[in-house]
Amino acid sequence: MQHRTYQDAIAGSRRAQKQVLKMIIKREKARAATLNGPRPQVTYRIEPEDPDNADAALKILGIASRNENMSHSNNDREWLNLETWAVQAALARRRGAVPLNEREIQGITRCTRGAEKLRWPRKRETHD
End-to-end CA distance of the chain: 53
Closest CA to 108 of 124, 84, 76, 128: 84
Are 114 and 84 spatial neighbours (Cβ–Cβ below 8 Å)?
yes
Q: What is residue 128's predicted lDDT score, i.e. its pLDDT? A: 39
Q: What is residue 122's predicted lDDT score, i.e. its pLDDT? A: 73
Which amino acid type is present at position 72? H
Sites in the chain below the pLDDT cut of 50 = 124-128
Q: What is residue 127's predicted lDDT score, i.e. its pLDDT? A: 42
Are 28 and 34 spatial neighbours (Cβ–Cβ below 8 Å)?
no
Per-residue 3-state assignment (H helix, E strand, C coil) for 13-75: CHHHHHHHHHHHHHHHHHHHHHCCCCCCCCCCCCCCCCCHHHHHHHHHCCCEEECHHHCCCCC
Q: How far is residue 128 CA from its own chain's centroid?
A: 33
The structure's pTM equals: 0.53
